[in-house]
């Protein structure tokens, strides 16, 4: 550990802090090796179709805090993605017991051309006061944008002055898009601000009966899992209140739904506030679920209870999982998604007997902030279920994904994020995209996910019909090239390494 410095107003970006990369092409086993021996280096692309923006990820966390207000300081277009989190709040709040969820309170300073010449600090000061008077929130978050970063507005100073004037935390979040090529730095930026301004240091070492769960907005799996141990989940950050975040330093433990998402906040809570982080990756797949419950039991000094839970759940769910495995055995899949959850999906597929013939994972962290190998979900996947050939790291470079799909033609296309599934449909490949990151967790999650995959495979007429009529914007020339064509240093090979379970491509 030791990568956390809450005295700084801005979080250190992942490229520097963790040596994260946005480009890789090879196989998963070799990527794990390079991550551990220090030989992994990032390379550039000569062409990029798009990229993820850090402000989206910072907004993803801050907008969903119940009693907060979020101000985007910049052109109003930079807040165009925020409405999606308003929808997520109202549609998923019931999963966390939020009664009568209201619309999110989201604002923009809407800086003009004049502001980009003379600066927008005065406009931000006025906006903070107006927003406070209208809403009387428990905290205000101010998110930076590329325009205000280029101008050089001192957002931190404005927020400090406003905090003294209003008597509530006014938190600056440094998350302009050009600051980092690794989109998940936006999560870190939001957590950095929360850890600096909202989480309270406790005067005693006494802990309560809560366990922090760093997550997105998935369904509640953890209440049932923690109850036999005498604990209950403290979900952070989505759907939290400021008081909940403040008291997260009183929790007995921190667990995560995704190692990539929670890496920084988990380390903050342990290093700065004395809340230990569970020393293993989240429970995806039978073997990792076994490890997770045993690690949980050990951390809570209830090893025997953990073994009882494992035995009970295996008795109930293993026959169902075996039945699903028999039906899905031999099927192939291509996975695209964020790093750790993408790795988790490949583990779930491996457990269900489905061969992952290729991936497009949005970035790669060689090691997380805890520096614990047990949190490494890719290594866990390779160890438990074997290598993955055609393993690619690229942040939503859809032209590369489409090229790979055209070459591999898997039985299933699994995507984690909106807007990606359509590429499978254009080729007549059954697609599945599930927002709920908890859906495939644990033994019961394997059953739920396996049944959903069967439904998708058995009801493929829709995507087959689409493929007969859909046009594709990519030319025949591009489909004849390697997906690595625009990666710097690429030299065309006659044949690309055969994927685990796939056919040779080239």
Give every CB contact of residue 215 below 8 A, 6+ residues apart in sequence.
235, 236, 238, 256, 257, 258, 261, 262, 437, 438
Distance CA 361, CA 410 (A): 17
The string of pLDDT tens digits covering residues 448-488 is 999 999 999 999 999 999 999 998 899 999 999 999 999 99
| Cβ-based neighbour number of residue 200 at 10 Å | 13
- Determine what percent of the chain is predicted with pLDDT higher than 70: 96
| pLDDT score of 341 | 94
Question: If we measure between CA atoms, which residue out of 337, 204, 215 comes closest to residue 266?
Answer: 215
Q: Please report the pLDDT score of residue 361 as a whole number.
A: 95
**493 pLDDT above the threshold of 60:** no
Judge whether residue 332 has pLDDT over 80: yes
Distances (CA, A) of 48 to 22, 23, 400, 402: 12, 11, 10, 14
233 close to 226: Cβ distance less than 8 angstroms: yes
Whether the Cβ atoms of residue 59 and residue 65 lie closer than 8 Å to each other:
no
- Position 496 confidence tier, pLDDT thresholds 50, 70, 90: very low
The pLDDT, as a whole number, for residue 211 is 98
Q: Answer for the pair 412, 331: CB distance below 8 angstroms, yes or no.
A: yes
pLDDT in tens, 364-403: 999 999 999 889 999 999 999 999 999 999 888 999 999 9
Q: How far apart are CA 28 and CA 395, in angstroms?
A: 17
Q: How many CA atoms lie within 13 A of 473 on its CB side?
A: 6
Of the candidates 447, 438, 437, 449, the residue with the CA atom closest to the CA atom of residue 333: 449
**Could you give the CA distance from residue 38 to residue 373 in angstroms, rounded to a whole number?**
14
**Per-residue pLDDT tens over the stretch 65-96:** 999 999 999 999 999 888 888 888 888 888 88
Q: 335-363, pLDDT tens digit by residue? A: 999 999 999 999 999 999 999 999 999 99
Among 27-36, 52-61, 80-89, the range scoring the smallest mean pLDDT is 80-89
Inform me whether the pLDDT recorded for 141 exceeds 90. Answer: yes
DSSP H helices in 230-371 = 242-246, 259-273, 286-299, 303-328, 339-351
| Residue 341: HSE in the Cβ half-sphere, 13 Å Cα cutoff | 26
Residues whose CB falls within 8 Å of the CB of residue 55, separated by 6 or more in sequence, listed in order: 72, 78, 81, 143, 144, 145, 175, 176, 177, 186
Q: Looking at residue 395, what is its pLDDT?
A: 81
Q: What pLDDT sits at residue 492?
A: 59
Kindly provide the b/e burial profile for residues 82-91, where b requires at least 16 CB atoms within 10 angstroms of the residue's own CB: beebbebbee
The pLDDT of 324-340, averaged and rounded, is: 96
- Asked whether the predicted pLDDT for residue 284 surpasses 80, the reply is yes
The answer, yes or no, to whether residue 173 has pLDDT greater than 50, is yes
């Amino acid at each position: 550990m030791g990568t956390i410095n809450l005295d700084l107003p801005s979080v250190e970006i992942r490229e520097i802090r963790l040596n994260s990369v946005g480009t890789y092409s090879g196989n998963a086993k070799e990527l794990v090796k390079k991550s551990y021996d220090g030989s992994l280096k990032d390379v550039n692309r000569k062409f990029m179709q798009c990229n993820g923006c850090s402000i989206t990820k910072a907004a993803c966390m801050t907008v969903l805090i119940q009693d907060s207000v979020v101000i985007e300081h910049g052109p109003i277009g930079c807040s165009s993605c925020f409405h999606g989190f308003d929808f997520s709040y109202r549609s998923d709040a019931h999963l966390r017991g939020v009664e009568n969820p209201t619309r999110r309170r989201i604002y923009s300073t809407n800086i003009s051309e004049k502001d980009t010449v003379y600066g927008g600090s005065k406009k931000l000061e006025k906006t903070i006061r107006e927003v406070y008077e209208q809403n009387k929130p428990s905290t205000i978050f101010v998110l930076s944008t590329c325009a205000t970063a280029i101008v050089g507005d001192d957002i931190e100073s404005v927020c400090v002055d406003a905090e003294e004037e209003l008597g509530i935390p006014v938190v600056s979040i440094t998350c302009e898009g050009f600051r980092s090529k690794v989109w998940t730095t936006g999560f870190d930026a939001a957590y950095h601000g929360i850890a600096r301004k909202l989480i309270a240091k406790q005067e005693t070492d006494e802990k309560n009966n809560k366990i922090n769960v760093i997550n997105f907005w998935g369904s509640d799996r953890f209440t049932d899992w923690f109850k036999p141990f005498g604990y209950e989940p403290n979900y952070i950050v989505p759907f939290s209140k400021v008081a909940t975040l403040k008291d997260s330093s009183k929790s007995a433990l921190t667990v995560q739904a995704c190692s990539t998402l929670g890496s920084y906040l988990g380390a903050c809570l342990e290093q700065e506030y004395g809340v230990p982080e569970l020393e293993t990756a989240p429970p995806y797949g039978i073997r990792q679920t076994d490890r997770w419950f045993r690690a949980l039991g050990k951390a809570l000094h209830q090893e025997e209870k953990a073994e009882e839970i494992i035995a009970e759940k295996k008795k109930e769910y293993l026959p169902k999982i075996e039945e699903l495995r028999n039906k899905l055995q031999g099927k192939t899949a291509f996975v695209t998604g964020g790093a750790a959850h993408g790795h988790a999906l490949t583990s779930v597929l491996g457990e269900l007997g489905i061969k992952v013939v290729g991936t497009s994972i949005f970035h790669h962290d060689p090691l997380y902030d805890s520096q614990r190998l047990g949190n490494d979900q890719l290594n866990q996947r390779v160890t438990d279920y074997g290598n993955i050939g055609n393993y690619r790291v690229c942040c939503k470079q859809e032209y590369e994904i489409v090229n790979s799909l055209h070459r591999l033609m898997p039985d299933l296309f699994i995507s984690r994020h909106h807007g990606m599934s359509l590429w499978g449909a254009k080729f007549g490949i059954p697609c599945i995209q599930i927002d709920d990151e908890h859906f495939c967790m644990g033994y019961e999650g394997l059953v739920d996910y396996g049944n959903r995959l069967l439904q998708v495979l058995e009801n493929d007429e829709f995507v087959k019909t689409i493929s007969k009529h859909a046009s594709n914007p990519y030319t025949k020339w591009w489909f004849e090239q390697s997906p690595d064509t625009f990666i710097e240093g690429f030299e065309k090979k006659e044949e690309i390494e055969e994927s685990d379970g796939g056919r040779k491509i080239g």
